Amino acid sequence: MPIPKRKAAESQKDFMSRCIPMLTPYHKQSEAIAICYDAFKGSAVELESYNDYPEGAVNNAKRAVEYKEKNGSSCGTRVGWTRAGQLARREKISRDTISRMASFKRHQQHKDVPYSEGCGGLMWDAWGGSAGVNWAISKLKELDKK
């Protein structure tokens, strides 16, 4: 489902009230809100985006999303679960998002916590796991050389 385009002079409230119902059949409401908010925020400028992250990052995010859907979880934030959804669907992500993924490295020490025993491993995988975080670090270096 494509994200709707912002109409000229459309307020954020009007855009969100039009966008969210279009996405909720395909995403959880919290994810639809985050996607629409990002779309509104970024609508003024077309940013370059990327989806050349490794299959391992996609698989890690899918595993985390599937676990949450099957078992429920209070772990993570809306941003973390939005990221997991983006990676699982292999959506294009901006340099800013890649930077946030790279900064998630600070949580690496918790990556081996089993999903059923805490949030560390689940959220590590939601952000793409080692494959995703390492790709993000490398991608930032590549982009900064340009």
pLDDT of 40-52, one tens digit each? 877 544 457 899 9
pLDDT tens sequence across 58-89? 999 999 999 999 999 999 998 999 999 999 99
pTM of the predicted protein model? 0.69
> What pLDDT was estimated at residue 77?
93
Q: Whose CA is closest to 127, among 61, 76, 73?
A: 61
